[in-house]
Amino acid sequence: MNKFPELFNLPLAKYVDKAMDWLLIHWEGFFDFIGFIILKVVLLFEDLFLFVPWFVIILLIGYAGWKLVGSLKTGILFMVFMMIIGLFGYWDLAMQTLALVISSVILALVVGLPLGIVMARSDRAERIFKPALDAMQTMPSFVYLIPALMFFGMGKVPSMFATVIYAVPPVIRLTNVGIRTVDVESVEAAKAFGATKKQILFDVQLPLAKPSIMVGINQTTMMALSMVVIGSMIGAKGLGMEVLLAIGRIEVGRGFEAGISIVFMAVIIDRITHSFSVKKPKKQKKNEVTE
């Protein structure tokens, strides 16, 4: 009586396996095409970052920290972080990780922003997508590696595929929330002036929802970075691979260096992306008449 009766059994795993087999048989060409496009995008960014001299990238990151975050000290700190990563000997691996993160975020935005807009404009779509987003966010991230391996094999492509699935929910949710919380009076005023639905969306709702959307992009970027590290388990090179090798060989120092490098990159990416969601005070013109 204490044990659950074996007579009642739901063979969900068997049905999922059959569905995966069907997709692999009938959609093999489609997944090969998607994998080819994804690989080309990742390699494009990777080749770009490895082609640009290291000191140029460091200067650009420092400039971004100064102008976007709004502090010269922050820009210098970012440059120091990148210098330390280079001194550890992880520059190329860091650029590979950065390329994978940027590629994943771009694809996540291409998918997530339109879905967020659809959810904001349709209550039915919101009811349909919300449970799926809940499942995507609560599902253990390692689970996404299994179908990614089956569809694309080992390497960068399955890592990016799994990263996009794991990282896309925040930008969808916050795009939806941002548009829905736009002041109703602003929308009504646009309608009163004869604006079309497209004009209301692009000229009123999206600009006013920008802070919320940028927070979603920030969260998506940070989740993508964390998933890229996990993606090293299926062949994605980068800093995550160093962490994995350090665990396998019990090399504490190596793991600490790789971990600190990931933390430095996370801080830089977080501060820069977060800066887009913060309203910066406008500088007064020098020739402005003082009272």
Q: Is residue 57 scored above 70 in pLDDT?
A: yes
Please tell me the predicted confidence (pLDDT) of residue 79: 94
Q: pTM value?
A: 0.85
pLDDT of residue 1: 61
| Residue 291 pLDDT greater than 70, yes or no | no
Output the pLDDT for position 116.
92
Confidence band, pLDDT 50/70/90 cuts, at residue 283: low
In a domain, residue 211? The reply is yes
Quick check: 282 pLDDT over 70? no
Q: pLDDT above 70 covers what percent of the chain?
A: 95
38 within a domain of the structure (yes/no): yes
Dihedral angle, C-alpha 218, 221, 225, 227, nearest 10 °: 110
Please give the pLDDT value at position 29. 84
> Residue 290 pLDDT > 50, yes or no?
no
What's the number of domains the chain is made of? 1
pLDDT the model gives residue 264: 92
Average pLDDT over residues 41-53: 90
What local confidence, expressed as pLDDT, does residue 39 receive? 87
Residue 77 falls inside a structural domain: no
pLDDT digits 0-9 by tens, 222-270: 888 888 778 877 777 788 888 888 888 888 888 899 889 989 998 998 8
Domain that holds residue 241: 12-51+88-275
Listed in sequence order, the residues at least 6 apart from 140 whose beta carbon sits closer than 8 Å to its beta carbon are: none
- What's the whole-number mean pLDDT along residues 194-201? 84
Query: Could you tell me if residue 203 is inside a domain?
Result: yes
228: which residues sit within 8 A by CB, 6+ positions away?
97, 100, 101, 104, 159, 163, 236, 238, 240
**Residue 85 pLDDT class (50, 70, 90 cuts):** very high
What number is the average pLDDT over the span 189-210? 86
The answer on pLDDT for 140 being more than 90 is: no
Q: Please, which contacts does 193-197 make with residues 24 or more away whose CB atoms are closer than 8 Å?
A: none
Residue 281: pLDDT band with limits 50, 70, 90:
low
What integer pLDDT is reported at residue 280 of this predicted model? 61
Q: Is 31 within the bounds of a domain?
A: yes
Measured distance CA(286)–CA(230) in Å, rounded: 51
Does a structural domain hold residue 111? Answer: yes
Per-residue pLDDT band at 110 (split at 50, 70, 90): very high
Q: What is the mean pLDDT of the chain?
A: 85
Interior/surface letters 172-200, b for 16+ CB within 10 angstroms, e for the rest: bbbbbbbbbebeeeebeebeeeebeeeeb
Q: Rounded to an integer, what distance in angstroms lies between the CA atom of residue 240 and that of residue 36?
A: 23
Domain CATH for 137: 1.10.3720.10
Q: Is 98 a domain residue? A: yes
Is residue 234 within 8 Å of residue 159, measured between CB atoms?
Answer: yes
Domain annotation covers residue 27: yes
pLDDT band with cut points at 50, 70 and 90 for residue 83: very high
Please report how the helices 252-275 and 72-87 are oriented relative to each other, as an axis angle in degrees rounded to 10.
Answer: 150
Of the chain, the percentage scoring pLDDT greater than 90 comes to 24
Contact criterion met (CB below 8 Å) for 168 and 220: yes
What pLDDT is recorded for position 286?
46
Tell me which of 31 and 289 has the higher pLDDT.
31
Q: Supply 166's token pair.
A: 């794991």
